[in-house]
Amino acid sequence: MFTLTTKLRNLTVALTATLALGLSLTATGPAAAQPVKDSTPSKGCPVEDEHGNTTYVPEGTRVGLFRCGSDGEWHFGWLVNARVAEPEVPTKGEARAPRGSIDRAP
């Protein structure tokens, strides 16, 4: 049989281990890496030819599904910055109601 001191020792070890594990998981915060802000504008994206020469193409250049971004990096995909918001300006002669609920006049 276990004695009272053995039970207390086991309980103390278990609580200490649980506390140590809990502190180790909560003490480390999430990584918060921030991109380096460069004051010089991007000179474009690098392109290497078959001879090993590197040249730079201007921002917005597309090669297949790759597009040169404003950060000087190549971005992959066909939806990269492809969505453009429609302007909210009504055309001449067109009346638009404000968004939300509209009460009818009595």
- Residue 53 has a pLDDT of 92
- Residue 48: beta bridge partners? 54
Residues 20 and 1: their CA atoms lie apart, in Å, by 29
**Phi, psi dihedral angles at 39 (to 5 degrees):** -80, -15
Does 61 reside within a domain? yes
Q: Report the run of H or E that residue 66 belongs to, with start and end.
A: strand 66-68
Q: Is residue 63 part of a domain?
A: yes
Range among 50-59, 60-69, 72-81, 90-99 with highest mean pLDDT value: 50-59
> Is 38 within the bounds of a domain?
no
Tell me phi and psi for residue 92, to 5 degrees.
-65, 130
pTM of the model: 0.37
The domain in which residue 49 lies consists of: 45-76
- The per-residue pLDDT for 77 is 76
In a domain? residue 58: yes
Average pLDDT over residues 86-95: 63
Count of domains observed in the chain: 1
Whether residue 97 lies inside any domain: the answer is no
Phi then psi for residue 67, to 5 deg, are -130, 135
